[in-house]
Amino acid sequence: MDLMQVSLKNIDLSSEDHDRYLFNCRQDSNALISSIKDVGLINPVILKKNQDADGVYIIVCGYQRIKACQKLGQVSIEAKVINGLNDEEIMLLALHDNLSSRGFNEIEKAIVLKKFLEIGYSYDRLMSEITPLLGVPPNKNIIDKYIDILTLDTEIKKSVTDDELEPEKAFLLITLDGVERDIVWRVLFRESSTNVNEAKETIRNLLDLKQIKNKEIVELLSSKEISLIISDKKSNKRQRGERICRLIKTMRYPVISKKEDEFDRSCRELGLDNDVRINHSRYFEGDEIRITIKASNEEKLRMSIEKLLSNIKNGTFKKIFSICKDI
């Protein structure tokens, strides 16, 4: 590399291919501007000559530093100009420079995967050489999902970038169209809080209801009941999420939901403490129940078992078993 001063006006910041080696999706940093203003540019940027335009340079590493110097009114910048590297080698240089200096957020990981595919990397090479560096599972389906995240709306991608929305939740939004995607994101992930499994089940239920009731997802999630849950400021986001998921499930499976409520009431009537959990089979598909006891010593275990035996002798379990069978 040759170290030299390069005029900022000679650096390509606008052509169609100017961001070829750019993985960054973050906003300009005021902290970076302040740092350069106070102590100057610590690390030179890396450029390559544009073979199709004499005297013009393409950015390899340092896009944000160049933008910051522009904002500070500087006319030139210290740069290392690379020579003799092919496109793949330059892309790898940009990748490792970013990894060593700051790392990548989830959207930037998607950009990396997409760009290496575009320069000819096979999925096998991506999984063996690139995904381990990014902390992405070496799986073709997951790679495709990461790349598909880039098709999401800007506001949703920003929530992923800011670690407000987990990639697994963003994956769930990919299958929805634009309008559906926006309201599902807002209701399930921004206005309330749901885990991945809850969100997956709720989206599946919404898609079923769309067919069963001939109603759009936007209409279902704009209902008065949903609006009341979201506007309830006495409950936290997690509580709102649980109520929304339960409401959608009740709409999709009214009989099963009624049985679940009856089952839960009957379990509470047993007077057991929180260390004893009673669960029915999924969707009451079987007539058995599962009892889980958590105990830290023999005495607590004995007390829990005696309480269960007392309820069995009193016949209070009969109602619970009848609920499981009567569906």
How large is the average pLDDT for residues 5-17? Answer: 90
Q: What is the mean pLDDT of the chain?
A: 91
Torsion angle, alpha carbons of 208, 209, 211, 212, to 10: 110
Tokens representing 155? 């506001």
pLDDT at 52 over 80: no
pLDDT at 327 over 70: no
Q: Which residue has the higher pLDDT, 102 or 128?
A: 128
pLDDT reported for residue 28? 59
How large is the average pLDDT for residues 177-198? Answer: 95
1-103 CATH, one of 1.10.287.40, 3.30.70.2190, 3.90.1530.10, 3.50.30.30: 3.90.1530.10
Tokens representing 37? 């203003």
Q: pTM (2 decimals)?
A: 0.77
- Burial class from Cβ neighbours inside 10 Å (0-12, 13-18, 19+) for residue 45 reads buried
pLDDT reported for residue 5? 92
Q: How far apart are CA 269 and CA 316, in angstroms?
A: 8
- Residue 318 CB coordination number (10 Å): 12
* Angle formed by the axes of helices 106-118 and 154-161, nearest 10°: 110
- Residue 225 CB coordination number (10 Å): 14
How large is the average pLDDT for residues 165-193? Answer: 94
pLDDT at 119 over 90: yes
The model's pLDDT over 131-142, given as tens digits with 9 standing for 90+, comes to 999 999 999 999
Give the residues across from 3 on adjacent strands. Answer: 80
User: What is the domain partition of the chain in residue ranges?
Assistant: 1-103, 104-150, 153-252, 260-325
Question: Strand 45-49 to strand 76-82: parallel, antiparallel, or no bridges (unpaired)?
Answer: parallel
The model's pLDDT over 261-320, given as tens digits with 9 standing for 90+, comes to 888 899 999 999 889 999 988 878 888 899 999 999 999 999 999 999 999 999 989 988
How large is the average pLDDT for residues 158-176? Answer: 93
Q: Which residue has the higher pLDDT, 228 or 256?
A: 228
Question: Strand 76-82 to strand 2-7: parallel, antiparallel, or no bridges (unpaired)?
Answer: antiparallel
User: Which of these, 94, 160, 169, lies nearest to 133 by C-alpha position?
Assistant: 94
Tokens representing 265? 């009431």
